[in-house]
């Protein structure tokens, strides 16, 4: 079953992941579920893109990871925000908000 | 199934390998797919379908796997680097703190290192400038310096006549080009008239092919081409960089302009670069040889004055080139009506001919100064070992806190390197001063001396040497300080620098002494050789003689007027108050042997009728020359004003010739055949070392100045007091007679003698300095070890004194230990010195490398120094108060 919903730009995917982790540390599968549930399937974040983003963010020092036992007794790699990741999330959300505001102002007046 | 990754994160020691990273990524992705599959199965799919769907939804799995691995490996690497940087920063801070907390040690180490590295750098700057910089010609190894050889007369390196050179040049095929030049300091000059008074410049006269052979290019304009160095088309000049700056203000519009040299106009074709100092430093201009008028120099085959150079054709070896030129030279010689004996040719690469003489002494110096640094390193290693005692608990604590051995070694090495590099920086500063001091000591007399100086390469060398030294003196103490068994130190049962450390330190001190022996032996040999050189009787008295060199303009003073002017100059100078005697000669002693004339035969007339023809140097002198120079008359008479041009030719000979030709009777009244003429000998004068102080006088003939006109003129003026006091009056007297008379040089005869001693003096004073440094460092080493031993043995000494040991026996105990060390070092050092000083044979004068007197002196000096260095700590042992020493325990 191919997904028909719009793909996400890379930067937007990063913000989304950071936002998810700001809520609680979780593993990759958990993040994927969380975004799917919150957006009711509207925001299609491909799993491949998710994991690539996670490892990229970890290298940039925005998230860090730890192997833990999950609630169902599996070993899973949990990610959590670093202080730098939290700061990054704040600035990116603010920028996105401004950008969207301007975008819609232009679209509404057209 | 990938191995579950390690739980520990916080306290991880090891870094993850690429394989570990890969298995973690695999595990993470496998976890995701497993959960996704479960989710889909819960929604009703079969196991296989769910798995397929999960993978389908995931996207490009393999690409993601690769991407994640790459990212992780990169993160790992970056983290590792930043940790290493952190550790380095930590080590550096630690090193600086540690060094500051031991100011005495740091000061001694820094000062000795700065001296050692500074000396090495200064000497290296000389070696680099003189020996290592490439010659200013491309493919210099193809360029040969070529000499004529006369086996019959035992002449193995003769200059070449112009006709011979032209014949060779026309016939050779194995040489791409041949060129020649005439350069003789003080003689091959010319007057440059720009604004104001004419100035005498040093010049080189070149034949066609000169610049083509060297392939040297001009810094400005271009060089003289072969077709611009032939009669009729030769009024061109190349200027040297210095004279261009000095006389023409570095004006680049000089190219193409005409300047006046010796009254004639010459077009400046170009300016040579500063580093082009061929054939010698201080050449101001190069002009074609063909501009010298036909009668100015001999162009016949007997007049050998050209230095020949040649560039081998591609692929031709030196041997092949030599074979061909010898064949040509033989063919030319056989075609001549009279046999000359010059039937062969020899050659050596031009670099060898320029630098061959100075290479050995410079490498001896570089070796000696390397030894100084080696001793410095051994000394500091000893100090570091001693310091390890003071730091043993500190290191043990660090080890207990989890620092691995490698980590502690790294920290100790960092400390050594910080020390070494700081010493290196100070050393570079010292080297700047050292290079100037070297010039003053006589390095400026070396070929290519203008290229000596500090530059980035030399500074890099200094820091390279510093780093190497730091590793050298830091490694052994660091390994030793971290040797297994540290826990015992913590428990207080064992000290690092206990017996083992002390033994190692003693070995180091013995090594220092051995190295010092080699240095002192080298210095001693050089000093003895130099003293021998100073003792040489040159055959004249240079004190209170002013030496003036000038050149008479033969256009202005032709024929008879030349002789008149010449005599007038001598007479006028003689009138200067304080001037006692004035004499003139074609060549001053130690400045060349003059002309070599056609075979002079000592025929019958009482001599040995069958004595073979000798090629004798001829010197043209004025009657008072011998008196002015203090050369004694042994028999007969000297020249008188009556022996002038037109009068029958008479000669004087030196004792060497008189002894050789007439061993048992007086030479006075005998005749020599010069060419076809029999000439009477009227007197015998003392031998003069004309060529150099190290070579005995050759058989020499003196001829009256006025009977043979020469434009170059050297005037010896014996004065009542210090000669330079009369310099101005003499100069004024000359200019009073002829306002435009240029003066090539004006100095004291002593400074001419002194200059020939410049190289041996440089070598000797530096070797003495290095010997002294080695000796002091060796003494410092002995002192350090004994002082430490005394402090360690306080209790033992206290007990001995309490039990009634005499002061004498206590002294003997300590001094004995020091002397044992020194003795071991001396024995090893003498053996090494015997081997190494053999390399000095070529730079020693009348002293053999194994000279027993010198070696005996070295042993005495070393043991004496060791005794003093042992005595001081021994005195301290005497002051040990037994009660206090025992209570201390």
Residue that the structure tokens 């009542």 belong to? B720
Separation in Å, CA of B134 to nearest CA in chain A = 51
Q: Which of chain A's residues have a Cβ under 8 Å away from the Cβ of B6? A: 67
pLDDT 10s digits, B397-409: 777 777 777 788 8
Q: Is A55 within 8 Å of chain B by CB?
A: yes
Residue B782: per-residue pLDDT: 84
d(C-alpha B754, C-alpha B761), whole Å: 9
**Residue B6's pLDDT band (boundaries 50, 70, 90)?**
very low
Contact B31 A76 (CB under 8 A): yes
Rounded to 5 degrees, φ, ψ at B415 are: -60, -45
Q: Which of chain A's residues have a Cβ under 8 Å away from the Cβ of B74? A: 59
d(C-alpha B818, C-alpha B877), whole Å: 13
d(C-alpha B427, C-alpha B123), whole Å: 12
CA angle B47/B49/B53 to nearest 5° reads 115
| Overall size of chain B counted in residues | 889
Q: Which of chain B's residues have a Cβ under 8 Å away from the Cβ of A47? A: 32, 36, 57-59, 64
Distances (CA, A) of B872 to B223, B224, B513, B697, B782: 69, 71, 18, 53, 10
* Interface-testing mutation among A3, A51, A77, with chain B (most B C-beta atoms within 10 A): A51
pLDDT 10s digits, B785-834: 888 878 777 778 888 888 888 888 888 888 888 899 899 999 999 999 99
Contact B60 A47 (CB under 8 A): no
Residue B496: per-residue pLDDT: 44
Contact B71 A76 (CB under 8 A): no
d(C-alpha B682, C-alpha B703), whole Å: 11
d(C-alpha B758, C-alpha B839), whole Å: 21
Residue B27: per-residue pLDDT: 92
Residue B603: per-residue pLDDT: 47
d(C-alpha B745, C-alpha B747), whole Å: 7
Q: Which of chain A's residues have a Cβ under 8 Å away from the Cβ of B52? A: none
Q: Give B877 or B344, the one with higher predicted confidence.
A: B344
Contact B72 A77 (CB under 8 A): no
pLDDT 10s digits, B573-587: 999 999 999 999 888
Residue B677: per-residue pLDDT: 76
d(C-alpha B416, C-alpha B470), whole Å: 5
Contact B32 A28 (CB under 8 A): yes
Please state the rounded mean pLDDT for residues B618-631. 90
Residue B491 has pLDDT above 60, yes or no: no
Residue A8: per-residue pLDDT: 58
Query: Nearest residue on chain A to B21, judged by CA atoms?
Result: A55
Residue B262: per-residue pLDDT: 81
Going by C-alpha positions, the residue among B162, B181, B161, B184 that lies closest to residue B710 is B184
Residue B710: per-residue pLDDT: 62
d(C-alpha A40, C-alpha B166), whole Å: 103
Residue that the structure tokens 């003494």 belong to? B779
Q: Hey, CA dihedral for B442, B448, B449, B453, is it positive or negative?
A: negative
- Pair B410, B811: CB distance under 8 Å: no
Residue B592 has pLDDT above 70, yes or no: no
CB-CB: which of A48, A49, A67 is closest to B7? A67
d(C-alpha B51, C-alpha B30), whole Å: 11
What secondary structure, in 3-state letters, does B148-189 show? EEECCCCEEEECEEHHHHHHHHHHCCCEEEEEEEECCCCCCE
Contact A75 B27 (CB under 8 A): yes
**Residue B386's pLDDT band (boundaries 50, 70, 90)?**
confident
In A1-110, DSSP assigns E strands to 26-27, 63-69, 75-81
Burial code of A59-71, b = ≥16 C-beta within 10 A, e = fewer? beebbbbebeebe
Q: Hey, CA dihedral for B363, B369, B375, B377, is it positive or negative?
A: negative
User: Which of B:20-59 have CB within 8 Å of A?
Assistant: 24-25, 27-29, 31-32, 34-36, 53, 56-59
Q: Percent of chain B, pLDDT > 90?
A: 36
pLDDT 10s digits, B107-120: 989 999 999 999 99
Residue B778: per-residue pLDDT: 87
Q: Percent of chain B, pLDDT > 70?
A: 91
Residue that the structure tokens 């010039």 belong to? B439
Residue B800: per-residue pLDDT: 83
d(C-alpha B730, C-alpha B743), whole Å: 11
CB-CB: which of B5, B24, B67 is closest to A52? B67
Helix (H) or strand (E) holding B600: strand B600-601
Going by C-alpha positions, the residue among B807, B821, B629, B824 that lies closest to residue B716 is B629
Residue that the structure tokens 């003129």 belong to? B713
Query: Nearest residue on chain B to A61, judged by CA atoms?
Result: B75
Contact A47 B28 (CB under 8 A): no
* Highest mean predicted confidence (pLDDT) among B7-16, B152-161, B189-198: B152-161
d(C-alpha A65, C-alpha B177), whole Å: 76
Query: Nearest residue on chain B to A2, judged by CA atoms?
Result: B57
Longest pairwise C-alpha distance within chain A:
55
Q: Is A29 within 8 Å of chain B by CB?
A: yes
d(C-alpha B127, C-alpha B134), whole Å: 12
Q: Which of chain A's residues have a Cβ under 8 Å away from the Cβ of B78? A: 59
Q: Which of chain A's residues have a Cβ under 8 Å away from the Cβ of B28? A: 27-28, 51, 76-77
Going by C-alpha positions, the residue among B140, B146, B176 that lies closest to residue B316 is B176
In B712-860, DSSP assigns E strands to 712-719, 743-748
Residue B449: per-residue pLDDT: 80
Separation in Å, CA of B17 to nearest CA in chain A = 16
| B138 Cβ contact partners less than 8 Å away, ≥ 6 residues apart | B215
d(C-alpha B92, C-alpha B375), whole Å: 26
d(C-alpha A12, C-alpha A18), whole Å: 10
- Pair B582, B625: CB distance under 8 Å: no
- Pair B489, B402: CB distance under 8 Å: no
pLDDT 10s digits, B48-58: 999 999 998 89
Q: What is the mean pLDDT of chain A?
A: 85
Q: Is A58 within 8 Å of chain B by CB?
A: yes
Q: Which of chain B's residues have a Cβ under 8 Å away from the Cβ of A62? A: none
Separation in Å, CA of A65 to nearest CA in chain B = 9
d(C-alpha A69, C-alpha B409), whole Å: 40
d(C-alpha B680, C-alpha B684), whole Å: 12
Helix (H) or strand (E) holding B711: none
Q: Is A74 within 8 Å of chain B by CB?
A: yes
CA angle A68/A72/A77 to nearest 5° reads 30
Residue A64: per-residue pLDDT: 92
Packing angle of the helix pair A10-23, A83-109 (nearest 10 deg): 130
How many other CB atoms are found less than 10 A from the CB of residue B511? 22
Contact A52 B68 (CB under 8 A): yes
Residue that the structure tokens 């400074």 belong to? B751
Going by C-alpha positions, the residue among B141, B179, B171, B155 that lies closest to residue B325 is B171
d(C-alpha B412, C-alpha A105), whole Å: 66
Separation in Å, CA of A63 to nearest CA in chain B = 12
Q: Hey, CA dihedral for B239, B242, B244, B248, is it positive or negative?
A: negative
CB-CB: which of A28, A29, A47 is closest to B59? A47
Residue that the structure tokens 């992941």 belong to? A17
Please state the rounded mean pLDDT for residues B448-476. 89
Please state the rounded mean pLDDT for residues B749-754. 88
Contact B72 A55 (CB under 8 A): yes
Q: Is A9 within 8 Å of chain B by CB?
A: no
Q: What is the DSSP secondary structure assignment for residue B233, as one 8-state letter?
A: B
Q: Which of chain B's residues have a Cβ under 8 Å away from the Cβ of A73? A: none
Residue B594 has pLDDT above 60, yes or no: no
Q: Is A77 within 8 Å of chain B by CB?
A: yes
Give the number of A-B residue pairs with CB atoms closer than 8 Å. Answer: 74
Please state the rounded mean pLDDT for residues B117-135. 89
- pTM as predicted: 0.73
* Interface-testing mutation among A49, A52, A66, with chain B (most B C-beta atoms within 10 A): A52
pLDDT 10s digits, B261-317: 887 889 999 999 988 888 888 899 999 999 887 766 667 777 788 899 999 999 999
Burial code of B422-455, b = ≥16 C-beta within 10 A, e = fewer? bbbbbbbebbbebbeebbebbbebbbbbbbbebe
Residue B115: per-residue pLDDT: 93
| B31 Cβ contact partners less than 8 Å away, ≥ 6 residues apart | A27, A28, A29, A74, A75, A76, A77
**Among A106-110, B519-523, B571-575, where is mean pLDDT lowest?**
A106-110
Distances (CA, A) of B80 to B17, B83, B407, B409: 12, 5, 15, 19
Q: Is B7 within 8 Å of chain A by CB?
A: yes
CA angle B101/B107/B113 to nearest 5° reads 125
- Pair A101, B52: CB distance under 8 Å: no
**Residue B8's pLDDT band (boundaries 50, 70, 90)?**
very low
Packing angle of the helix pair A28-38, A47-59 (nearest 10 deg): 120
Q: What is the mean pLDDT of chain B?
A: 84
pLDDT 10s digits, A49-96: 999 999 999 999 999 998 988 878 888 999 999 999 999 999 999 988
Is the previous residue joined to B309 through a cis bond, with omega within 30 degrees of 0? no
Helix (H) or strand (E) holding B311: strand B304-312
CB-CB: which of A56, A66, A76 is closest to B9? A66
Residue B338 has pLDDT above 80, yes or no: no
* Interface-testing mutation among A67, A70, A80, with chain B (most B C-beta atoms within 10 A): A67
Q: Please, how many CA atoms are within 13 Å of residue B888, restricted to the half-sphere of its CB?
A: 16
d(C-alpha A74, C-alpha B62), whole Å: 23
Task: Give, rounded to a whole angstrom, the gap between the first and last alpha carbons of chain A.
Answer: 37
Q: Is B5 within 8 Å of chain A by CB?
A: yes
**Among A9-18, B529-538, B734-743, B763-772, where is mean pLDDT lowest?**
A9-18
Distances (CA, A) of A48 to B58, B67, B175, B512: 6, 10, 74, 68
How many other CB atoms are found less than 10 A from the CB of residue B875? 15
Paired tokens of B299: 């162009």
Please state the rounded mean pLDDT for residues B662-666. 84
ipTM of the complex as predicted: 0.88
- Pair B100, B106: CB distance under 8 Å: yes
Residue B595: per-residue pLDDT: 58
CB-CB: which of B28, B31, B60 is closest to A48? B60
Residue B152: per-residue pLDDT: 75
- Pair B516, B780: CB distance under 8 Å: no
Residue B484 has pLDDT above 80, yes or no: no
Rounded to 5 degrees, φ, ψ at B146 are: -120, 135
Residue A17: per-residue pLDDT: 92
């Amino acid at each position: 079953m191919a997904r028909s919903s719009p793909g996400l730009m890379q930067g937007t995917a990063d913000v989304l992941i950071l936002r998810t982790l700001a809520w609680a540390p979780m593993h990759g599968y958990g993040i994927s579920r969380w975004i799917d549930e919150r957006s009711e399937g509207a925001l299609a974040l491909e799993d491949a893109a998710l994991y690539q983003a996670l490892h990229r963010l970890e290298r940039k020092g925005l998230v860090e990871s730890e192997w833990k036992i999950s609630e169902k007794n599996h070993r899973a790699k949990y990610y959590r925000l670093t202080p730098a990741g939290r700061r990054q999330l704040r600035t990116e959300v603010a920028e996105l908000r401004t950008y969207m505001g301007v975008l819609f102002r232009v679209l509404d007046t057209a | 199934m990938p191995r579950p990754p390690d739980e520990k994160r916080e306290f991880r020691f090891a870094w993850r390998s690429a394989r570990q990273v890969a298995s973690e990524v695999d595990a993470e992705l496998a976890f995701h797919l497993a959960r996704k599959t479960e989710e889909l199965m819960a929604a009703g799919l079969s196991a296989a379908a769910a798995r397929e769907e999960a993978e389908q939804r995931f996207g490009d799995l393999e690409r993601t796997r690769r991407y994640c691995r790459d990212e992780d490996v990169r993160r790992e690497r970056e983290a590792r680097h930043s940790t290493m940087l952190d550790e380095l920063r930590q080590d550096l801070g630690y090193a600086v703190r540690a060094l500051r907390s031991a100011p005495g040690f740091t000061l001694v180490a820094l000062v000795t290192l700065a001296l050692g590295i500074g000396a090495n750098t200064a000497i290296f700057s000389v070696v680099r400038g003189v020996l290592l910089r490439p010659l200013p010609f491309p493919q210099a190894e193809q360029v040969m310096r070529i000499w004529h050889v006369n086996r019959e007369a035992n002449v193995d390196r003769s200059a070449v006549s112009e006709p011979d050179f032209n014949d060779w040049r026309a016939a050779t095929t194995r040489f791409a080009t041949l060129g020649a030049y005439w350069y003789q300091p003080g003689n091959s000059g010319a007057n440059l008239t720009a604004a104001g008074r004419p100035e005498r410049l040093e010049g080189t006269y070149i034949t066609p092919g000169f610049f083509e052979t060297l392939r040297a290019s001009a810094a400005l304009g271009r060089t003289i081409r072969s077709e611009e160095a032939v009669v009729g088309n030769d009024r061109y000049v190349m200027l040297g960089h210095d004279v261009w700056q000095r006389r023409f203000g570095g004006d680049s519009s000089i190219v193409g302009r005409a300047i006046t040299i010796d009254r004639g106009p010459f077009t400046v074709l170009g300016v040579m670069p500063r580093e082009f100092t061929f054939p010698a430093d201080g050449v101001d201009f190069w002009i074609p040889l063909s501009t010298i008028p036909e009668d100015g120099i001999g162009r016949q085959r007997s007049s050998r004055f050209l230095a020949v150079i040649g560039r081998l054709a591609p692929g031709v070896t030196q041997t092949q080139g030599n074979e061909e030129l010898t064949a040509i030279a033989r063919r030319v010689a056989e075609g001549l009506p009279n046999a000359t004996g010059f039937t062969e040719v020899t050659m050596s690469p031009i670099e060898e001919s320029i630098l061959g003489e100075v290479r050995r002494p410079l490498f001896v110096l570089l070796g000696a100064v390397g030894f100084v640094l080696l001793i410095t390193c051994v000394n500091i290693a000893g100090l570091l070992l001693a310091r390890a005692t003071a730091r043993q608990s500190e290191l043990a604590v660090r080890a207990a806190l989890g620092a691995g051995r490698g980590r502690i070694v790294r920290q100790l090495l960092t400390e050594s390197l910080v020390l070494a590099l700081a010493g290196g920086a100070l050393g570079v500063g010292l080297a700047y001063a050292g290079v100037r001091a070297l010039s003053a000591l006589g390095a400026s007399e070396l070929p290519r001396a203008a290229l000596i100086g500090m530059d980035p390469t030399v500074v890099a060398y200094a820091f390279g040497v510093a780093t190497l030294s730091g590793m050298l003196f830091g490694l052994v103490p660091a390994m030793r300080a971290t040797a297994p068994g540290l826990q015992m130190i913590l428990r207080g049962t064992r000290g690092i620098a206990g017996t083992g450390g002390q033994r190692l330190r003693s070995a180091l001190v013995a090594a220092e002494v051995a190295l010092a022996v080699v240095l002192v032996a080298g210095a001693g040999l050089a000093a003895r050789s130099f003293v021998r050189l100073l003792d040489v009787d040159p055959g004249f008295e240079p004190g209170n003689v002013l030496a003036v060199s000038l050149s008479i303009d033969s256009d202005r003073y032709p024929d008879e007027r030349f002789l008149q002017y010449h005599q007038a100059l001598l007479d006028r100078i003689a009138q200067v108050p304080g001037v006692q005697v004035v004499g003139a000669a074609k060549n001053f002693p130690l400045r060349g042997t003059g002309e070599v004339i056609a075979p002079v035969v000592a025929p019958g007339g009482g001599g040995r009728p069958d004595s073979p023809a000798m090629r004798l140097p001829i010197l043209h002198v004025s009657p008072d020359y011998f008196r002015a120079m203090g050369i004694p008359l042994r028999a007969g008479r000297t020249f008188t004003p009556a022996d002038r041009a037109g009068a029958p030719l008479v000669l004087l000979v030196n004792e060497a010739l008189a002894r050789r030709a007439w061993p048992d009777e007086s030479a006075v009244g005998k005749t020599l055949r010069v060419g076809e003429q029999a000439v009477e000998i009227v007197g015998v004068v003392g031998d003069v070392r004309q060529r150099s102080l190290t070579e005995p006088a050759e058989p020499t003939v003196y001829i009256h100045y006025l009977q043979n006109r020469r434009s170059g003129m050297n005037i010896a003026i014996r004065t009542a007091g210090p000669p330079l006091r009369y310099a101005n009056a003499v100069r004024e007297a000359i200019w009073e007679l002829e306002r435009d008379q240029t003066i090539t040089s004006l100095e004291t005869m002593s400074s001419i003698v002194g200059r020939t001693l410049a190289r041996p003096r440089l070598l000797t004073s530096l070797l003495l300095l290095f010997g002294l440094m080695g000796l002091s460092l060796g003494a410092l080493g002995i002192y350090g070890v004994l002082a430490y031993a005394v402090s360690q043995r306080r209790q033992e000494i206290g007990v001995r004194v309490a039990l009634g040991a005499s002061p004498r026996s206590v002294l003997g105990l300590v001094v004995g230990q020091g002397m044992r060390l020194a003795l071991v070092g001396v024995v090893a050092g003498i053996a090494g010195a015997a081997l190494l000083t053999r390399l000095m044979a070529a730079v020693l004068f009348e002293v053999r490398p194994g000279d027993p007197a010198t070696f005996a002196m070295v042993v005495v000096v070393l043991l004496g120094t060791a005794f003093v260095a042992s005595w001081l700590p021994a005195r301290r042992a005497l002051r040990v108060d037994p009660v206090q020493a025992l209570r201390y325990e």
